[in-house]
Amino acid sequence: MLSKNNIKYIQSLQHKKVRDAELAFVAEGPKTVVELLHTGVFACRSLYALESWVSKLEPNQLKMVQPYLEVIKDFELEKISSYTSANEVVAIFSQQEVTSPLSAENTVTLVLDDIRDPGNLGTIIRTADWFGIPQIICSNHTVERYNPKVVQSTMASLGRVNVHYTSLIPWLKSEIAVPKFAATLHGKPVAMIEGREAAILIIGNESNGISMEVLAEADEQITIPAFGGAESLNAAVSAAILLYTVRNKRN
């Protein structure tokens, strides 16, 4: 049975201050937890699951989770889950050691200027994973990648995409050899980035767009053409369209 201290500790990891102090984060749900274990990027500290979930594991999966596993009851899972309907398994992982951003040369890099919605960031990370984008560079005010809603919406892509936080201006200035494209409402047609092997794609804040300081570092502004009356596109949707375009090979 889970102790009160354990329950309190797991609940406390819903808060960024505690996650930062403990260098840990929480993941929930069978798919997310198992895939994060498979990536091997984040060390698992503990795993709490219902017997009904454990009984469905394949032998190799059971072997993988066994060192961290504690079988708990439904009512205990509800206490440590952040969701209204608890999702069979909750795991605590160590955060990844912070490293320097990779060079943007010879690859496509996403740059996020103050994305604040956890669902948007999680979806962008998952989309980057789909298109084989190796890294995302985030402003220091972009929502934290270990936010529970971010972790959940990445569906374990967090273990396959490098997400870095830094001051964007110095980093953009350092990548002088790579063309930088800023997604705005009044730029050139997005088709101009089609089939590029190296590019930096900048996406701005959900409400305010790209800051003037960051925009000044872009070589070109690009726009996804509108055919209806919507005022703007969701940041994650914009990222998906841009990444599809840049990955689409020229004829």
Neighbours of 152 (CB within 10 A): 21
Neighbours of 90 (CB within 10 A): 25
Neighbours of 69 (CB within 10 A): 18
| The predicted structure's pLDDT at residue 209 | 95
Q: How far is CA 35 from the centre of its chain?
A: 14
Query: pLDDT per residue over 174-206, tens digit each?
Result: 999 999 999 999 999 999 999 999 999 999 999
Quick one: tokens of 101?
Answer: 């951003």
Which neighbouring-strand residues pair with 91?
A: 27, 47
pLDDT, averaged across the chain: 94
| The predicted structure's pLDDT at residue 250 | 57
DSSP H or E run through 79: helix 74-80
Question: Three-class SS of residue 230?
Answer: coil
User: Going from the N-terminus, what domains does the chain have, and what CATH number goes with each?
Assistant: 4-94 (3.30.1330.30), 108-247 (3.40.1280.10)
Quick one: tokens of 107?
Answer: 């690859």
Give the integer Cα–Cα distance in Å for 117 and 143.
Answer: 7
Give the integer Cα–Cα distance in Å for 35 and 21.
Answer: 25
Task: Answer yes or no: are the C-beta atoms of 181 and 204 closer than 8 Å.
Answer: no
Give the integer Cα–Cα distance in Å for 47 and 70.
Answer: 6
| The predicted structure's pLDDT at residue 67 | 94
Give this prediction's pTM. 0.94
Of 41, 36, 247, 238, the residue nearest 130 (C-alpha)? 247
| The predicted structure's pLDDT at residue 251 | 47
Q: Which residues of the chain have pLDDT under 70?
A: 250-251
Work out whether the CA dihedral 86, 88, 94, 98 comes out positive or negative: negative
- Using CA atoms, how far residue 227 sits from 29, 54, 194, 233, in Å, is 38, 50, 20, 12
Query: pLDDT per residue over 40-78, tens digit each?
Result: 999 999 999 999 999 999 999 999 999 999 999 999 999
